[in-house]
Structure 1
Amino acid sequence: MLRFMVALKTGGYESTRRSHPVSSTPLLWRTLAAIDEGMVGLTGRLEVTSDLPATLRGRPMVLAANHIGVFDAFVLIAACRRLGFAPRFMIAAGMLDAPIMGPALTACGHLRVDRGKATAAEAFDRAVTALRGGGAPVLAYPEGRISHEPGLWPERGKTGVARIALAAGVPVVPISQWGAHEAVWWGTETVDGWADFAPLAASWLRSVRDRPRFRVHFGAPVDLGGLTAGTPGDAVRAHERIMRSIAGGLAPLRADEPDGPRFHDPTRPTDGRRSPWRP
């Protein structure tokens, strides 16, 4: 595993070899992102707000988002495209192993994550190397799964995103989103046939009819000043700051639904544990 001793300091970030806007986005990814934006527009009403400084446009960064539903990645792609960039996603290996979709996602430059395996460290190294080389932003979910929290607030999550940012010496931009959970039901852990797919398709068609609001907010970079990749406990402290920033940006988006979503998805599992990040 790569070991970088890089500090993030308030007010500035270590420079990279590329400071101009990224222009090497694969054509396939640009094409798919354009199609995605059209699909999101058909499904609902996308509203994007941003506190992202202009100085960070075109620079490598980690985008850390809350995970609320199976459709929210499509919403995030459209929101990022609206702001003018196409991030690389850290994607579970199962999706990259799928026929047709897997090779397409791989060709787009997305990063493979083998959960629970020794090779998971390779995903960390690839992400750090890409970011330090001045590549496109990397988007990841610190929670690692769709939230099981009863009120759909962010779960505790894991430190992987924080460790990547500290090792690469790049800023973390928190993304808070709300509404995408209404587009498609959670469904099942895996989709093995028509019986699993049909409820998802039916819920999407209802969204096309009802057009829910998809609200996405890009926050100001998280202050990771004083934290380093090699200091014990700093990854945990960075993770806590990231999650609080995400939850803080989420609160205004769901101000009229503070305790739980009005939209009821009967298929979404919950574990009864309250989010530690609720404002």
Structure 2
Amino acid sequence: MSRGARLRARLRTWHPRPPALPEDLAQLLRPEDPEWFARELAIAAAPPWWVWRFLLRNFSWLVGLFGRVEVTGGIPEELRDGPLLLAANHIGDFDPVVVAVALHRAGVVPRIMATGGILSAPVAGPLLERAGAIRVERGTELARHAVRVTEVALVSGGHVVAYPEGRVGLTADGWPERGRTGMARLALGLGVPVLPVSQWGAHEVLQYGNDWGKLRTAARAVVRRPALRVHVGPPVRLDDLRMGRVGDANRARYRIAAAITRGLVPLRAAERDRPAFLDPTRPTTVVAAYPGGVVPGDIP
């Protein structure tokens, strides 16, 4: 094997050293678990990585090269020590970066759920994992591992960013989908506060399709510098709901979607009926939970 081939092999398998895995969590491991599960449990149980905090503190300005980051709302000081579930609408591949910067400005260090494909990429994937990203293997039996890692992060006081839609939204008008019940069940099961995070603008930086068009939209964003708006709303009221009671997880799901939608209305006031930026590579196959951003006043 050549020197270059050895270097590439090392880069493919390299990971930053994770923190030690607590003994009580080590007992959860099974021989059939994927090799990354132990690392993610250890990272979830530990305080945020100092490198991640350093990057957020000193290099968040880089996101501003692609647009003007505008943050409204905030996180009550009494909630900043965690745990927190931060429910965000998912509008594009660039929005996790924008949300991370916005939440750091709001006083927390976020851990963001990410697809397994991103975390499996050489170098960048292991760095994201060590920064606290939680791997979600959608549509596979491994998806349950993400739930366990998220539970550990929350029990340890973490601030976890989750996307109730489970993917980049595919509604024709850009308003959030109703989402799934997974996040609602986590919130009800652990009694964790849920804060809605509404965002708009990040979809203009990276197109949906995975081709050279991503570079084109990124370059255009550097020139145009669109507004990258994020609003952190007040906690969603879930105290009257109970885990295991019939219908309550569904009610929580609709309340979370309603809160995100309400926060999104002022962010896209000039684009309420139709997004100004239309991405031809993004499918539009789903109806929004609240089309047009109109949320009824009688959400159960």
Aligned to 1:156: 178
Task: Work out which of the residue numbers 198, 207, 210 in structure 2 matches 1:185.
Answer: 207
Count of residue pairs brought into register by the alignment: 248
Unaligned runs of at least 5 residues, structure 1? 1-22, 189-195
Structure 1 position 51, deviation (Å): 4.4
Give matches, 1:98-113, under 5 Å: 98-113=121-136
Unaligned runs of at least 5 residues, structure 2? 1-45, 295-300
Gap change, CA 1:236 and 1:106, over 3 Å in 2: same
Structure 2 letter corresponding to 1:65: A
Q: Which has the larger radius of gyration?
A: 2
Structure 2 letter corresponding to 1:252: P
Higher relative contact order (CA 8 A, sep 6+): 1
Gap change, CA 1:80 and 1:118, over 3 Å in 2: same
Give matches, 1:109-128, under 5 Å: 109-128=132-151
Determine the C-alpha separation between the residues in 2 that align with 1:69 and 1:35.
24
Aligned to 1:38: 61
Determine the C-alpha separation between the residues in 1 that align with 2:59 and 2:189.
32
Aligned to 2:82: 59
Whether contact under 8 Å (1:175, 1:249) holds in the other structure is yes
TM-score by length of 1: 0.84
Aligned to 1:204: 218
Q: Percent identity?
A: 47
Structure 1 position 150, deviation (Å): 0.6
Determine the C-alpha separation between the residues in 2 that align with 1:85 and 1:276.
29
Aligned to 2:160: 138
Question: C-alpha deviations, 1:159-216, integer Å up to 9, x for none?
Answer: 111111111211000000011111121123xxxxxxx2x3211211111111100110
Task: Work out which of the residue numbers 148, 173, 176 in structure 1 matches 2:198.
Answer: 176
Structure 1 position 68, deviation (Å): 0.9
Task: Work out which of the residue numbers 251, 257, 261 in structure 1 matches 2:265.
Answer: 251
Determine the C-alpha separation between the residues in 1 that align with 2:97 and 2:63.
7
Aligned to 1:193: none
Structure 1 position 247, deviation (Å): 0.4
3-state SS of paired residue (1:154): coil
Whether contact under 8 Å (1:65, 1:139) holds in the other structure is yes
Q: Which moved more, 1:78-87 or 1:236-245?
A: 78-87
Task: Work out which of the residue numbers 266, 274, 277 in structure 1 matches 2:287.
Answer: 274
Determine the C-alpha separation between the residues in 1 that align with 2:114 and 2:206.
19
Structure 1 position 35, deviation (Å): 6.2
Structure 2 letter corresponding to 1:275: A
Structure 1 position 34, deviation (Å): 4.3
Determine the C-alpha separation between the residues in 1 that align with 2:246 and 2:59.
41
Aligned to 1:263: 277
Q: Does 1:90 align with 2:113?
A: yes
Determine the C-alpha separation between the residues in 2 that align with 1:36 and 1:148.
31
Instruction: Say what the alpha-carbon RMSD is for the aligned residues.
Output: 1.8
Aligned to 2:38: none
TM-score by length of 2: 0.78
Structure 1 position 266, deviation (Å): 2.0
Determine the C-alpha separation between the residues in 1 that align with 2:243 and 2:51.
34
3-state SS of paired residue (2:270): coil
Structure 2 letter corresponding to 1:258: R
Determine the C-alpha separation between the residues in 2 that align with 1:267 and 1:116.
22
Question: C-alpha deviations, 1:223-256, integer Å up to 9, x for none?
Answer: 0021122222211111110000000111111111
Structure 1 position 218, deviation (Å): 0.2
Whether contact under 8 Å (1:28, 1:107) holds in the other structure is no
Determine the C-alpha separation between the residues in 1 that align with 2:146 and 2:64.
32
Aligned to 1:18: none
Determine the C-alpha separation between the residues in 2 that align with 1:259 and 1:82.
30
Question: C-alpha deviations, 1:110-141, integer Å up to 9, x for none?
Answer: 2111111222112112212221232x200010
